[in-house]
Amino acid sequence: MKIITTTEELQKLRKEIDGSVGFVPTMGALHNGHLSLIRQARDENEHLIVSIFVNPTQFLEGEDLDAYPRKEEADIRICELAKVDILFMPSISSMYEKDELCIGAPAIRGYILEGQKRAGHFDGMLQIVMKLLNISSATRAYFGKKDAQQLSLISQMVKNYFMSVSIVPCEIIRDESGLALSSRNIYLNSDEKGRALSLSRSLKEATKMIMSGEKSVVNIKENMHFHLKDIDSVEYVCIVDREFNIRDEIEIGDSIILVAGKVGGVRLIDNIWI
């Protein structure tokens, strides 16, 4: 595995590669969720690039940029074991210059839910993903459904900017109790972890209602709020279609139920695709 730290080196190396290239962008502190993306990309492509970069422009003032978990050595070992060909770990100064040209999230889909709670987050996310997709010239890039709105906006960016990469959505990986894996879970103590399970439980209960014929979003949300009472603050419960238009009725095959909340100061999100 080659570890590359500058954009120039990666672009040079990329020109020497023939055949399909899979790409998995991450912010590190790798867990089994990341690993499932990496494994899928390994299986579906001749070459595999993984990036680890904690992108400052997607963190808002007061968010956990400095405290974001960093586990460089363990991450390198995980990538080696997963047979990654190139691990890209750039510095901030090699990714950004002062007074940059920026792309912005769309006015509606980019500013509801996560975009409303974290205004500006998606601008920074799209900016870094655009850069990484361009530098890697990937055939396919892999993103988790865990960050459903992010995935939807990246797909829209690729479409709107006529980019040639294929975006591959990957299933959400959970621990044995149902909690969606996240780098931020390490901040939860055991009581908080127990309470955080309400997020996935509320989604399971919503799925049960839908499977028994319920279509009303109002009724489903009411039931979810009942199951979310152990969450310190529920930020949103929402049902959208695959393009992130708000739904008032469930349509099986084109609905995503999303939930976000804070437990003991840790902000968590989860969702289920119906």
- The residues that are catalytic are 34
Cβ proximity to ligand AMP: between 27 and 126 the closer is 27
Residue type, 190: S
Q: Is residue 146 close enough to count as binding ligand AMP by CB under 6 A? A: yes
Q: How far is the CB of 147 from ligand AMP (least distance, A)?
A: 4
Q: Is residue 247 close enough to count as binding ligand AMP by CB under 6 A? A: no
Exactly one of 90, 115, 144, 261 binds ligand AMP (CB under 6 A); that residue is: 144
Cβ proximity to ligand AMP: between 69 and 214 the closer is 69
Distances (CA, A) of 220 to 41, 148, 224, 227: 35, 19, 6, 11
Q: How far is the CB of 99 from ligand AMP (least distance, A)?
A: 26
Q: How far is the CB of 188 from ligand AMP (least distance, A)?
A: 14
Site string for ligand AMP, 154-193 (x = CB under 6 A): ----------------x-xx------xxxx----------
Total number of residues binding ligand AMP (CB under 6 A)? Answer: 17
Residue type, 196: A
Site string for ligand AMP, 18-37 (x = CB under 6 A): --------xx-----xx-xx
Distances (CA, A) of 114 to 43, 47, 110, 229, 253: 32, 33, 8, 21, 23
Q: How far is the CB of 175 from ligand AMP (least distance, A)?
A: 9
Q: Nearest residue by C-beta to ligand AMP?
A: 144
Residue span binding ligand AMP (CB under 6 A) among the ranges 11-19, 108-116, 144-152, 212-220: 144-152
Residue span binding ligand AMP (CB under 6 A) among the ranges 98-106, 139-147, 214-222, 241-249: 139-147
Count of all residues that appear for the chain in the document: 274
Cβ proximity to ligand AMP: between 184 and 225 the closer is 184
Q: How far is the CB of 13 from ligand AMP (least distance, A)?
A: 22
Binding residues among 203-222 for ligand AMP as defined by CB under 6 A: none
Cβ proximity to ligand AMP: between 49 and 172 the closer is 172
CA distance 230 to 139: 43
In sequence order, which residues have a C-beta less than 8 Å from that of residue 71 and are 6 or more positions away?
Answer: 28, 29, 30
Cβ proximity to ligand AMP: between 115 and 144 the closer is 144
Binding site for ligand AMP (CB under 6 A): 26-27, 33-34, 36-37, 143-144, 146-147, 170, 172-173, 180-183
